[in-house]
Amino acid sequence: MQSKKHPFLHDLRQNRTKWLMLLPAAVVVILMCYIPMAGIVLAFKEYNYHDGIFGSPWVGFENFQYFFKSGKAWLTTRNTILYNLAFLFVNTILQITCAIMLSELAGKAFKRITQSVMFLPYFISWVVVGAFIYNFFNYEFGAVNAFLKGMGLAPVDVYSNKNAWPVILIVVSAFKNVGYGTVMYLASIVNIDGEMFEAADLDGATMWQKIRYITLPCIRPTIVILFLLAIGTIMKGDFQMFWQVTGNNPMVLDVTDVIDTYVTRSLLTLQEFGMTSAAGLYQSGISFVLVLIANYIVKKVEPDYALF
């Protein structure tokens, strides 16, 4: 009687090259993401340098209590969630719109140049973006106030105006990330069967009708998958953006402080490793729950589009 082949081992033999190509990325993920998870125990310990991570005494949930009693838990959680929801909503709409516009352009050379120009900001460091914003809005010599002074108007102190920063951060996030998302949606649009558009042309469909009844339904799986992946990071603020663009300005922390910046600032000033680890675990735990809830809802509505 012939023994039954194990599916994984059979696939490993059949696709040796693909598994070898995947191996470096898997090693990096294991080294950078999974092995450091052992440090989660710090959230339940009072860390000291002498005993180290695993030798420090256990304190239970005291670090979590410290985080919530500090008065910053609700503020940073609110800011993190609201900013990420705004980024997700605005960036997704702009990315889909730009991808559809690029797909409708006739000139290949112009399309490639436009796509490259839109993609370029993604590679610009947040340090450079922060310097650009500072020189743009600086009260004394910023470009905006220089223009206002030249027009005989009073300068605006943006760095002490809390109401201005949500708008600035949303615009900066779009500037940095829209190009990257546009490329992914554009790749999805390019893979749509061209015969569908030809049939629509024969039926006399307008450009807007083709976008509504062909393009958007065909890229819906991509939209759902990217949405689910974004939900997983909704509790994780873009640390570099909030830290570099705002310059860690204490005047506007009420509207710009997110969990990541609060944890970093607490670690640098208080050296509270346990509390910062507790805040990070709290952040990751809620993100995990949100992914499960979002995936469950998608699975109920469109089972084929769910991650698992």
Across the 308 residues of the chain, what is the mean pLDDT of every consecutive 10-residue run? Answer: 66 87 92 88 88 89 84 88 93 93 81 86 91 91 90 89 93 92 90 89 89 91 85 84 88 90 83 84 86 83 76
Q: Which amino acid is at 262?
A: Y
Q: Cα separation of 294 and 79, whole Å? A: 20
Nearest CA-CA partner of 210 in 225, 227, 195 = 195
Q: What is the pLDDT of residue 1?
A: 43
Would you say 19 and 12 are in contact if contact means Cβ atoms under 8 Å apart? yes
Q: What is the pLDDT of residue 226?
A: 86
Nearest CA-CA partner of 255 in 165, 134, 130, 137 = 165
Q: What is the pLDDT of residue 5?
A: 66
Identify the H or E element spanning 101: helix 73-104
Q: Which residue has the tokens 């256990």?
A: 58
Q: Cα separation of 21 and 4, whole Å? A: 27
Count of CB atoms situated within 10 Å of the CB of 215? 22
Burial of 98: CB neighbours in 10 Å, binned 0-12, 13-18, 19+: buried
Supply the pTM of this predicted model: 0.84
Q: Cα separation of 141 and 148, whole Å? A: 11
Burial of 62: CB neighbours in 10 Å, binned 0-12, 13-18, 19+: middle
Identify the H or E element spanning 305: none
List, in order, residues 6 or more apart from 304 with CB less than 8 Å away.
Answer: 221
